[in-house]
Amino acid sequence: MPRASATTLAILAAIVALAIPILAALELAQHQSLQSEMDRALSYATEIMVRSERTAAQIDDGIGMLVHTRNASGDGPCSAAQIALMREIALVSSYLQAIGYVSGDQMLCSSMGLHAGGLALGPVEQVTKGGTKVRNNVSMATSVSDSTFIVVQHGEYAAVIHKSLPIDVSTQEKDVSLATFTPGYREFRTARGPAKLEWIDAAQGREQATFFDGEYVVAVVQSAQFATGAVAAVPVAYLNQRVREFALVLVPIGLLAGIALVLVVRYLTKLQQSLPALIRTGVRKKEFFLGYQPLVDLQTREWVGAEALIRWRRSDGTLVRPDQFIPEAEENGMIQRITRHVLQLVAKDAPEILRRRPNFHIGINLSSADLHTPDTVKLLQELLRDAHAGPHNILIEATERGFMNTDAAREMVKDIRALGIDVAIDDFGTGYSSLSYLESFALDYLKIDKSFIDTIGTDAATSRVVLHIIQMAKSLNLKMIAEGVETEAQEKFLREHGVQYAQGWLFGKPMPVADLLRELAKAKSVQAA
């Protein structure tokens, strides 16, 4: 994937990761607010309901007592004893204003006494399922105040109730609407604040319903026991206020969750793009291949071997140089995975090469970690078997750093040489190794680092070091390979000083195996001719 679109994708992912928790927080705030306002409306409606039910119970009790006493005594409905009882009932029933005897639409007597000529109640407005008759707007001429009353009639008796009594509950907000109604009737018995009849419809006769109609959060409840219902409605402004309060708490939490999510996403992508992960997928996708750089015999200029140098072509086409990933792979513990892969690649390429040149040798670079893993010897044995190669066809190159620690490396070199495979010390002179240190190893070749070859023919202060190195190799009986030879002058100098082999752009750059095979075929036909 091109870098630009990957970045765009990452930014988009981050925006989504941030937006989702924030949107979720807003959604939650909305939901929580609606829930809490519905709960509030429901608690008001329930309170009204409780008062209505108590009122209904007191009416039932009072009328029941009057009927019972009259039947028992055989008194007339407006006898002195009955009126006294009415007075007593009105006094003890906190929700009842008065209770009396009705004939037609006239109240003939009540807890307030005998009504000479009767008290006109007006026509019955509602009749409940149980046969209770309700008048909702009765003004009482005898009343001290001129308020209107609700008159609830069972049979011949009726109770008088203050219209505002059931809805006289205290709410924190004055603009919360409260109302009562008689189930089965599409009208309000009493109401405080604006109330819509659609609310009764929306409740559909359920015992309890809460909803939001766009303007109000509404609760409608209906008594299971008495013919009474109550409504409470909270204006939308309170809902919005509540949403803001919740959002103020939830949105920052959402933001934090979003940031955490972004960090997790970033961490996971990093992990996925980390070198070990990339190397693993690289091996799986066959992104690695080998470049073979020829090694010449300085006497004949004949190609006698080649060094296998790893190349990594990423899926996006970029070529990663080994200098860019080998050191990091060494630190990350991935180098052995790479070495194993290099050995597999060599095993695949070698048979073709060796068929053309049975004495050719292939140089393989081992890292310090490889020299400290007993597995390596086993892997080399497998290589010889899989590549149909003899030990003289393989040359192991290990840097000074590889030999640095110790006896373990010394043992490993011994084991490799015991297989018959030659070992070279690579990049010689760039580390700290001294002659005496080198003496403690039994080795076959010394590779003179390019930095020393570069000084040949110059008057740099280090230009004499190459002679010291050559001297040292001779005294230790090591064959020499000069690295990075780029000029004829360097070649001539090295040959004259007894260096046997060389490698460098003067002779050939690292090349794909197909090119190496072609070059070998060409050289052979020249020899033959």
The contact set with ligand C2E (CB under 6 A) reads 293, 309-310, 321-323, 326, 342, 365, 367, 426-427, 483-484, 486, 503-505, 510
For ligand C2E, give the closer residue by CB, 66 or 473.
Answer: 473
Radius of gyration of the chain (CA): 52
User: Residue 349 or residue 449: which is nearer to Ca ion going by CB?
Assistant: 449
Which of 180, 222, 365, 433 is in the footprint of Ca ion by CB under 5 A?
365
Q: Which does residue 402 bind out of ligand C2E, Ca ion, none, counting CB within 5 to 8 angstroms by kind? A: none
Quickly count helices (H) and strands (E) in the chain.
15, 21
Contacts of 338 (CB under 8 A, 6+ apart): 279, 288, 310, 326, 329
Q: Does 397 bind Ca ion (CB under 5 A)?
A: yes
Which CB atom, from 95 or from 507, has the smaller least distance to ligand C2E?
507
409-447 in b/e form (b: 16+ CB < 10 A) is: beebbeebbeeebbbbbbbbbebebeeeebeebebbbbb
Q: Which residue type, as a one-letter code, is found at position 241? A: Q
> In terms of Cα–Cα distance, which of 433, 474, 483, 431 is closest to 456?
483
**Nearer Cβ to Ca ion (152/443):** 443
In this structure, which long-range contacts are made by residues 348-352, counting pairs with CB atoms below 8 Å and at least 24 apart in sequence? 349/290, 349/292, 349/513, 350/387, 350/388, 350/389, 350/393, 351/387, 351/388, 352/513, 352/517
Q: Which is nearer to Ca ion, 229 or 291 (CB)?
A: 291
Q: Which residues contact 124 (CB under 8 A, 6 or more apart)?
A: 105, 133, 134, 135, 153
Give me the least distance between CB of 323 and ligand C2E, in Å please. 5
Using CB distances below 5 to 8 A depending on partner kind, what does residue 93 bind out of Ca ion, ligand C2E, none?
none
**Shortest Å, Cβ 350 to ligand C2E:** 14
Binding flag, residue 427, Ca ion (CB under 5 A): yes
> CA 365 to CA 358: how far, in whole Å?
21
Stretch that binds Ca ion, among 83-91, 113-121, 195-203, 483-491 (CB under 5 A): 483-491
Nearest to 265 by CA among 44, 10, 24: 10
* CA–CA dist 424, 436 (Å, integer): 17
Cβ 11 to Ca ion shortest distance, Å: 42
In whole angstroms, the minimum distance from the beta carbon of 485 to ligand C2E comes to 6
Partner residues linked to 293 by β-bridges:
307
Distances (CA, A) of 16 to 1, 10, 28, 367: 21, 10, 18, 44
Q: What does 329 bind: ligand C2E, Ca ion, none (CB cut-off 5 to 8 Å by kind)?
A: none
Report in angstroms how near the CB of residue 504 gets to ligand C2E at its nearest. 3
Q: How far is the CB of 371 from ligand C2E (least distance, A)?
A: 11
In whole angstroms, the minimum distance from the beta carbon of 330 to ligand C2E comes to 8
What are the helix (H) ranges across 273-367? 275-284, 322-331, 335-356
Binding mask 431-470 for Ca ion (x = CB under 5 A): ----------------------------------------
Question: Residue 504's binding partner, choosing from ligand C2E, Ca ion, none, with beta-carbon cut-off 5 to 8 A by kind?
Answer: ligand C2E
| Min separation Cβ 306 and ligand C2E, Å | 11
Crossing angle of helices 375-386 and 406-418, in 10° steps, is: 20
Cβ nearer to ligand C2E, comparing 147 with 324: 324
Please tell me the total number of residues recorded for the chain in this structure: 529
Q: How far apart are CA 341 and CA 284, in angstroms?
A: 10
Q: Which stretch binds Ca ion (CB under 5 A): 336-344, 402-410, 426-434, 509-517?
A: 426-434
Token pair of 523 as six digits: 């050289």
CB of 37 or CB of 426, closer to ligand C2E: 426
Question: Could you tell which of ligand C2E, Ca ion, none binds residue 191, using a CB distance below 5 to 8 A set by kind?
Answer: none
Between 411 and 486, CB nearer to ligand C2E: 486
Closest contact distance (angstroms) between CB of 523 and ligand C2E is 19
Q: Contact residues for Ca ion (CB under 5 A)?
A: 365, 397, 426-427, 483
